[in-house]
């Protein structure tokens, strides 16, 4: 089966996940002093930006993966659905991070652990998709097959960093959010890696 409808579902979920984030930006009641309320809501903006950047970068990475996939069988689609589960849920820990991230103590810790844990799960699901493709190279365009291992390693490195963020969240919650944000920036900028080469090779244009 071709990948058209799978991509349509993926793009739909990403588009909605990214747009639902906006529902948790501060909406003070009519009686509030708007300017000062908005000024104190910086954790909401920070959480919004980190989540938007993360979802955006995951989309870019997934776009790279799909441009290497020739056919999608049912098992691959199931792995993609598990991956979508971890992406579509991101607005939820984002809302928790915005509400509890700046409280001291246990609540900030819980929010940071949950937030990083969901990004970790997302990373693992992405690794699992790459690993499946590596074991089934017949699903992948010929010239892209050489890059599968490096792509899996790249996703694995990201997952490891999210695992580090979980551990750090127990000690310094705000540092965990900082790592999560830095990872989005790092993956956005580091495109000289193998996946990009792979995609270019497979697509035969650019």
Which residues lie near its own copies (CB under 8 A)?
A: 1-2, 5-9, 11-23, 25, 27-30, 32-35, 38, 48, 52, 56, 59-60, 63, 66-67, 71, 73-74, 77-78, 81, 84-85, 88-89, 91-92, 95-96, 99-100, 103, 106-107, 109-111, 114, 188, 191, 196, 199, 203, 205-206
Tell me whether residue 22 is exposed, middle or buried, using C-beta atoms within 10 angstroms of its C-beta: 0 to 12, 13 to 18, 19 or more: exposed
Residue 94 · residue 25 · CB < 8 Å: no
As a whole number of angstroms, the distance between CA 9 and CA 61 comes to 16
Nearer to its own copies, 129 or 160 (CB): 129
3-state SS, 3-32, equals CHHHHHHHHHHHHHHHHHHHHHCCCCCCCC
Which structure tokens are listed for 178?
């900082």
Q: Between 65 and 165, whose beta carbon lies closer to its own copies? A: 65
Minimum CB separation from its own copies for residue 30, in Å? 5
73 versus 149: smaller Cβ distance to its own copies: 73
CB atoms within 10 A of CB 176: 29
- Whose Cβ is closer to its own copies: residue 107's or residue 134's? 107
Query: In the complex, what is the shortest distance from the CB of residue 13 to its own copies, in angstroms, rounded to a whole number?
Result: 5
Q: What is the closest distance, in whole angstroms, from the C-beta atom of residue 74 to its own copies in the complex?
A: 5
């Amino acid at each position: 089966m071709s990948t058209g409808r799978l991509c349509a579902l993926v793009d739909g979920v990403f588009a909605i996940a990214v747009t639902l984030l906006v529902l948790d930006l501060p909406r003070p009641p009519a009686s509030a002093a708007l300017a000062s309320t908005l000024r104190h809501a910086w954790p909401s903006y920070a959480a919004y930006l980190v989540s938007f950047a993360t979802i955006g970068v995951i989309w870019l990475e997934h776009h790279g993966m799909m441009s290497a996939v020739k056919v999608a069988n049912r098992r691959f689609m199931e792995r993609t659905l598990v991956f979508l589960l971890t992406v579509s849920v991101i607005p939820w820990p984002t809302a928790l991070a915005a509400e509890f991230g700046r409280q001291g103590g246990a609540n900030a810790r819980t929010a940071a652990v949950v937030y990083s844990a969901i990004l970790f799960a997302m990373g693992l699901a992405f690794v699992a998709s790459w690993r499946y493709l590596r074991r089934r190279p017949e699903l992948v365009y010929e010239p892209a097959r050489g890059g599968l291992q490096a792509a899996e390693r790249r996703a694995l490195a990201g997952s490891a960093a999210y695992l580090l963020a979980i551990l750090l969240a127990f000690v310094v919650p705000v540092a965990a959010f900082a790592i999560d944000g830095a990872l989005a920036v790092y993956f956005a900028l580091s495109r000289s890696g193998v996946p990009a080469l792979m995609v270019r090779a497979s697509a035969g244009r650019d």
